[in-house]
Chains A and B, each alone.
Chain A
Amino acid sequence: MTDLMPRENLMLRMQTEVQRALEKPQSSRHWGMVIDLRKCVGCHACTISCVAENKLPPGVVYRPVLDQEIGTYPNVTRKFMPRPCLQCAEPPCVPVCPVNATFSRPDGIVAIDYDQCIGCRYCIVACPYGARTFDAGRTYTEDTPEQQAYELLPTYEYGVKRQRVPRSEESPIGNVRKCHFCVHRVEQGELPMCVTTCIGVANYFGDLNDPDSLVAEMAAQSNVVVLKEELGTKPSVTYLV
């Protein structure tokens, strides 16, 4: 019976490691994620929890799960591939920003300063992974008689409380938005929402600079794949296949 139980709770381990990393200076840690595609069942729980956590409006998505068919009928298999922002170490989206609104943080997260962003969307076309989306100001209940309360809940992205005012031009409306590893949670010692809600524990998150961390251990596996590696963007998100 004991052999059938998980030897350790991976979630608790990753959370402990996040808290340990937070004790270091910001520039000494490098947040990263390894997604085990063999464990992903395509349930989209991560997508939905991300939408709920970040109060994402229609047309904005941080972590879609791609459903890819491999082979031709009748020899077909399916593969699910979650695609958060890959938090590249050499991000093509950063140098194209004309006003320095998007930048690499010392901890490896590629962030957006919503108050600085002018909404030119140059970064969207520069991202080779399609990881950025534009907040045009839509709401889920815009064509209904009443605005629903949940649409007006504040977001806490990047640790800043923001009230989204539909049809206005107040940030984050009019901004480009993207996954930020739920940095507002991580900095409180919590795991990103997608990691917490993954039913198969297919996501490993933590400090890549910590050789004892689970994520560093997974990132060192021989079956790690880097998306569009030839571009040299050095993503902080890799895949186990």
Chain B
Amino acid sequence: MTSISTPTQAVMPRGPSMRLAWGLAAVSTIAGVAGLIWRFTGGHVAANYGSYVPWGLWIATYVALIGASAGAFGFAAFVFTQRRIEHYRVAVLATLVSFGAFTAGLLNVWLDLGHPMRAWKLLTDTSISSVMGIMAWFYLVYGLILLVGLVGMRKGGVPTLVERFSWVAILFAFVFAGAEGSLFGVVGAQPLWESGLTPILFLAEAALFGLGLVAVAAAVFGLLESSSARMLGTGMLIAAGLVLAIEWAEFSTGLFAGVPAKTEALGTIISGPYWWVFWLLHLGLGLIVPALILLRRRGDVMATGLAGGLVAGMAIASKLNLIIPAIAQEDIAGLSESFSGPGLGTTYFPSPMEWLVWLGTLGLAGLIVLGGHRWMSAHFTETSPTSLQETK
């Protein structure tokens, strides 16, 4: 590791944009605190998920953020492994972004639990037949790797150990993101999920969302240069192409096969009450528009940041499309009308409490990245060890 201690000149962005970022993150977190109080005083009564649609906004956010975290981490590990020193500062930021997304993702799923205070049982009483049980251990190892990596890099420069063993991290991010998809892929009762393509889709989306998140963060922090923008843009284009190809395969085979259980779920996605989430948010703003921007303005810092922002912003829409339409189908015709009560319907829209908590977790992720950026300021200066490594 290059460990030069010299007076540093800050390149950390100041001014209105950073103040705005801090302000937005802080306000969102405060809104989240209100939601959290609501969540813990009112329990799950204030939520709109229930029995027939048992998962909602929080689970969609959890899988989107965990995937994005794995994608960002994979990017950082790739840069370190390949000794692409010109991208080191972006890679350090990617590690930070990965940690922020990971924390917020876990917070979403933790608050979704009926008994959050029993979450420790996931580690002490793990069922190895459950993907969710195995994932709990993955999260622990992953969180530790992230923390150790961040602490190791805190003083500036990238330790040789990190450079040398980052291939293990790439492998881990790969398995991790795929296993996240298996969480859904193994559920035989949900024809929309039970597919060998589901883990592959999660992998491609993890790469896409992770790169998008890194691109927008790097643009906001003023760290994105043309070469990094080109690299991130190319990665996003490849990942977006993969996502489109997998979704086309999944949708076309599902619709042509004509098995009602699956076509109903696909129909809900394409033309259900929330058709615009699929067509406008996911496909339009989340895939096609960013792809067009990247194709037309390759290597452009602002364009890459914007495309990354769109991709990252629409990540949750993509996961909502996967989760809600699948479980919003009756397991047996007439089930939802046989007994009425709260949570016994097949429609879902997040409640105000869910939105508040969700906003808070995103705000917290923002604060982690913003605070982490300051905490690791040694990396983000003109003469920091990292930048010196970059200019070697």
B43 close to A122 (CB less than 8 A): no
Bound-complex Cα distance A67 to B338 (A): 7
Interchain CB contact (< 8 A) of A64 among B41, B116, B133, B335? B335
Chain A residues contacting B55 (CB-CB under 8 Å) are 121, 125
Chain A residues contacting B116 (CB-CB under 8 Å) are 169
A96 close to B52 (CB less than 8 A): no
**Stretch from B17-25, B119-127, B294-302 forming part of the interface with A:** B119-127
Interchain CB contact (< 8 A) of B50 among A59, A95, A122? A59
A130 close to B118 (CB less than 8 A): no
- The B contact surface, by secondary structure, is loop
- Given contacts A68-B333, A125-B190, are A138 and B342 in contact (CB under 8 A)? yes
Question: In angstroms, how far is the closest chain A Cβ from the Cβ of B317?
Answer: 20
Chain A residues contacting B122 (CB-CB under 8 Å) are 98-99, 118
Bound-complex Cα distance A222 to B126 (A): 43
Q: Is B334 an interface residue (CB 8 A)?
A: yes
Question: In angstroms, how far is the closest chain A Cβ from the Cβ of B47?
Answer: 7
Question: In angstroms, how far is the closest chain A Cβ from the Cβ of B7?
Answer: 51
Bound-complex Cα distance A67 to B51 (A): 19
Q: Is B256 an interface residue (CB 8 A)?
A: no
Bound-complex Cα distance A218 to B294 (A): 67
Q: What bracket does the count of chain A residues touching chain B fall in?
A: 35 or more
B344 close to A61 (CB less than 8 A): yes
Count the B residues whose beta carbon is within 8 Å of the partner chain — how many? 50
A125 close to B337 (CB less than 8 A): no
Chain A residues contacting B190 (CB-CB under 8 Å) are 125
- Residue of chain B at shortest CB distance from A42: B338
Q: Is A193 an interface residue (CB 8 A)?
A: no
Q: Is B1 an interface residue (CB 8 A)?
A: no
Interchain CB contact (< 8 A) of B189 among A95, A125, A171? A125
- Residue of chain A at shortest CB distance from B114: A119
Interchain CB contact (< 8 A) of A99 among B44, B127, B333? B127
- Beta-carbon contacts under 8 Å, B119-140 to A: 119, 121-122, 125-127, 129-133, 135-136
- The proximity string for A residues 131-142 relative to B, scoring 1 for CB distances below 8 Å and 0 otherwise, is 011111110001
B331 close to A134 (CB less than 8 A): no
27 A–B contact pairs at CB < 8 A?
A47-B339, A59-B50, A59-B342, A59-B344, A61-B341, A66-B335, A67-B334, A95-B129, A96-B130, A96-B186, A98-B130, A98-B135, A99-B118, A99-B121, A116-B118, A126-B187, A127-B331, A128-B189, A129-B332, A134-B114, A137-B43, A167-B41, A167-B43, A167-B45, A174-B44, A227-B332, A231-B189
Since A98-B126, A118-B122, A130-B332 are in contact, a sample of 18 more A-B pairs with Cβ atoms closer than 8 Å, ordered by chain A residue number, is A47-B339, A59-B51, A60-B341, A64-B339, A81-B332, A92-B188, A96-B132, A96-B186, A117-B118, A121-B55, A125-B55, A127-B189, A130-B335, A134-B50, A134-B54, A135-B114, A171-B115, A173-B114
**Chain B contacts to A: CB under 8 angstroms:** 41-45, 47, 50-52, 54-55, 112-119, 121-122, 125-127, 129-133, 135-136, 186-190, 327, 330-335, 337-339, 341-344
Nearest 4 A/B pairs, CB to CB: A119-B114, A174-B114, A130-B331, A98-B133
